[in-house]
């Protein structure tokens, strides 16, 4: 039951917290002078055969599609399985901010607890988990529900283990904003 409470808490409230140092050290968009100094990308011999990146490149927003929402949620699931706190907190950012505003700790410390509550078999299963597009609910192009039943993995998960999530398109990509 403790896992359920912690995971539910994380689903509705974990995300990236930006420290002053982060804001000072990493501008969100490169300046024109920075871009001018970067080398231009050249296509590789295997161009067209590589899997697209899980994150949008440059300052271009991610597509506002059901497929992108699924890709983003799978990115979160895989990061959860790999204990990749940076990616987990980035994707779950807005939900994390809600929980932190309600008195819970920052995502980076709270998800460390969640990682300890997931069994090794479940972590391994999350690393390759996929989402069944037929089982998700597109409420609007900006709001997509990812029920637990949509997760396809080699281990079994219950609502108390993983739960269901809402992803919303906020600004430039989909983010987890709520969970049960």
Which residue in 166, 14, 179 sits closest to 94, CA to CA? Answer: 14
Q: In sequence order, what are the residues at sequence separation of 6 or more whose Cβ sits closer than 8 angstroms to the Cβ of residue 132?
A: 149, 150, 151, 152
> What is the model's pLDDT at position 63?
94
Looking at the predicted structure, is the pLDDT value of residue 13 above 50?
A: no
Number of DSSP helices (H) and strands (E) in the chain, helices first: 8, 6
Q: What would the mean pLDDT of 134-151 be, rounded to a whole number?
A: 96
Q: In sequence order, what are the residues at sequence separation of 6 or more whose Cβ sits closer than 8 angstroms to the Cβ of residue 4?
A: 159, 160, 161
> What is the model's pLDDT at position 43?
35
List, for residues 163-179, the tens digit of each pLDDT value: 999 999 998 999 999 88
- The angle at the Cα of 70, spanning 90 to 68, to the nearest 5 degrees, equals 80
Q: Is the pTM for the entire model greater than 0.75?
A: no
List, for residues 23-57, the tens digit of each pLDDT value: 333 333 333 333 333 333 333 333 333 334 444 55
Are residues 174 and 168 in contact, defined by beta-carbon separation less than 8 angstroms? yes
- Distance CA(161)–CA(115), nearest Å, equals 11
- Helices 2-13 + 107-117 axis angle, to 10: 150
Which residue in 47, 65, 46 sits closest to 56, CA to CA? Answer: 65
């Amino acid at each position: 039951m403790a896992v359920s409470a912690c995971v539910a808490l994380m689903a509705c409230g974990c995300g990236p917290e930006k420290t002053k140092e982060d804001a000072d050290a990493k501008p969100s968009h490169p300046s024109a002078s920075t871009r001018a100094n970067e080398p231009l990308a050249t296509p590789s011999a295997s161009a067209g055969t590589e899997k697209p990146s899980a994150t949008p490149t440059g300052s271009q927003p991610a597509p506002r599609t059901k497929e992108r929402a699924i890709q983003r949620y799978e990115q979160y699931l895989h990061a959860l399985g790999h204990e990749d706190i940076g990616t987990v907190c980035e994707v779950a950012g807005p939900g994390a901010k809600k929980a932190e505003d309600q008195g819970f700790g920052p995502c980076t410390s709270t998800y460390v607890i969640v990682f300890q509550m997931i069994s090794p078999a479940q972590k391994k299963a999350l690393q390759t988990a996929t989402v069944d597009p037929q089982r998700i609910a597109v409420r609007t192009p900006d709001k997509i529900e990812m029920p637990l039943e949509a997760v396809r993995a080699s281990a079994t998960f219950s609502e108390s283990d993983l739960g269901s999530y809402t992803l919303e398109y906020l600004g430039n990509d989909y983010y987890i904003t709520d969970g049960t």
